[in-house]
Amino acid sequence: MPGSFYTSHQSQNPLRTGGLIIWHTLVSLCCIGLLCGPLTTNATQIADADGVITVTYAPAPQTLEWQTPTPTPWGDPTAASGGIFRLSIQGKPSTLRRFGPETPSELSQLLADLQLPLLARHPQTGMPIPMLASQWAVADHRITYQLTPAALWSDGTPITSGDIAFTLQFLSDSANKTPWQAHSLRACIRGIEIHDQQRFSLITTAPVTKQTLLQISDLRATAQHFHQPNLQWPRQYDWRPEPTSGPYRITEVIPSERLIINRTTPWWGDQLPQFANRFNASQIQLRFTKSLQDSYQLLQRGDLDALALNSQQNWDSPVVTQLLSQRPITRYRHYFQGAQPTSALLINKQHLQLIVKKTILTLIHTGSLSSPFLQQQLDVFKTQGYQINDLPLSQGELLEQLKTRTFDLAWVTLDGLNDTTVAEYIAWLTEKSTGASNIELKQDKNQQGVSQYLAWQWARLPAWLGTRYSNDLFNPFDPVTGGLFWIDQRLKATALARATKFTPNQTLTSDAYRAKSQTIKPVGPVSANFK
């Protein structure tokens, strides 16, 4: 096909190019693409029409105002390195790819965190800080980056400007089977100009603002020497771990059971202040479980270190209460102020009216139910005498439920979309799935986030639990807000030997970054120290 990456990219680039991308802030765009078949088809047509992002070569602009801030560290200096951290995700993934068919997924989003963005937002101040790029300069429709000279892939290969160029070309090519990513990239980036091995400029479609700087700079690349795209893409890469730019790499894959992810030692970023006293575990073991009940059992035996409580129902469940009373396990709730997905509760009024005597409502969803807004909406139904049945579904299953018009309630997250796009998407969803006259939409625009976890007390957190923008207390990989915890191996040994007394029913709540508009009553704090 004319202009296709597969036929033209190597001859156009005098530098060794490499890498693929997942644009982390746009993950949910891919989710929506999977959910909405017709929208995905339209995105593919747009991709075919627009072509791949262009790559040019030129000297760097002569007048650049380089930004080179030295971030204030936010890791806990008392953290201890070493140990194994074990966590789980539900379901058995069908691929280790971060893009392409059957992604995004919970696993693909975790794998995205193994790669560094170009820049990120400081988790306390909100200001841009270096990540893969050490400095940058902004001028109207252009962002120029200087890659960290010491940056290496986990296999020891240098990371270059060519990796970024290949990233853009590959995902903007319709042949890669990621049409939403292609469309999203081209909505922001017109081209890339390579200056040398470490310097390049992204040419943007609109003047650069602070917000778009951070969004565009969330670009995450992988290595060309690993990826050799051809007609066998993507299946030949389903279970091939890719080199990483972050501090961890996949070292062992046990299909349908677990991943073994080891710390890269030495890692090129270890001496940088933004990574100090973080990423403390030597190894991460990621278990695949069939259900939440299986994860509870693993946690009870001490075979998991932490487990996310994705809903208020799980937070208050009898099994959690029992675990708190029987094991040295703490329940954590941390409020944060990062931008949250725009979410909506779809109420199928027609279905409710047809079943007059209905007392049990089924809530279908694909993700977390921890939203305070959702819980408030569900409380309204409960006060009316309804019992809520929580039914988690895959994206495809959710779409089928919507098409059949048999659902009662549907919780849909619209991450990464602006208000206009959200309105368009909701209009399509309500018209095609339920009929606009039969749907009631309750949209959540709250910017408050809540992270809720169970964790054995040997998985230690800083005294403040998390940062202003922490979205996952026990995410070991996130380049910005992850890796703040550590393993106390002495406590682990004594706890498993039942040689240490503990205070049951431990609950810790961090209200430091809680929005004033929140209506959920805080719990705690209670000391979680061993006695």
Contact call for residues 509 and 524 (beta carbons, < 8 A): yes
pLDDT at 113: 94
Tell me the H-state helices in 13-105. Answer: 27-35, 37-50
Q: Are strands 54-57 and 189-194 parallel, antiparallel or unpaired?
A: parallel
How is 80-132 classified by DSSP, letter by letter?
Answer: ----EEEEEEES--S---SSSTT-S-HHHHHHHTTS--SEEE-TTT--EEESS
Q: Find out whether the peptide bond into 104 is cis, omega within 30 degrees of 0.
A: yes
Helices 318-326, 292-301: inter-axial angle, 10-degree rounding: 10
Contact call for residues 244 and 114 (beta carbons, < 8 A): yes
pLDDT at 322: 92
Gap between the Cα atoms of 459 and 152, Å rounded: 30
Contact call for residues 375 and 333 (beta carbons, < 8 A): no
Helix, strand and coil percent figures for the chain, each rounded to 5? 30, 25, 45
Gap between the Cα atoms of 96 and 244, Å rounded: 13
Q: Which tokens sit at 181?
A: 């990513």
pTM, full prediction: 0.76
User: What residue type is 87 in one-letter code?
Assistant: L
197-230 burial, b at 16+ Cβ within 10 Å, e below that, comes to ebbbbbebeeebeeebbbbbbbbbbbbbebbebe
The domain segmentation of the chain, as residue ranges, is 5-72+114-237, 342-444
289 phi, psi to nearest 5 deg? -115, 155
- Residue 394, sorted as left (phi over 0), alpha (psi -120 to 50) or beta, turns out to be beta
Matching residue, tokens 């100090």:
276
Gap between the Cα atoms of 345 and 341, Å rounded: 13
pLDDT, averaged per 10 consecutive residues of the chain (531 residues), comes to: 29 29 31 25 32 91 92 94 94 85 77 95 93 96 96 97 91 73 81 96 92 90 80 82 96 92 96 96 95 94 93 88 92 84 77 62 80 82 86 76 78 60 58 59 71 94 90 92 95 85 84 63 27 21
pLDDT at 345: 86
Terminal alpha carbon distance of the chain: 69
Gap between the Cα atoms of 526 and 499, Å rounded: 22
pLDDT at 12: 32
User: What residue type is 485 in one-letter code?
Assistant: F
Q: Which tokens sit at 249?
A: 């790499």
Architecture of the 342-444 domain? 3-Layer(aba) Sandwich (3.40)
Contact call for residues 506 and 460 (beta carbons, < 8 A): no
User: What residue type is 259 in one-letter code?
Assistant: L
Cα separation values, 278 from 115, 231, 245, Å: 15, 40, 15
Q: Which tokens sit at 290?
A: 């069939």
Q: Which CATH class is domain 5-72+114-237?
A: alpha beta
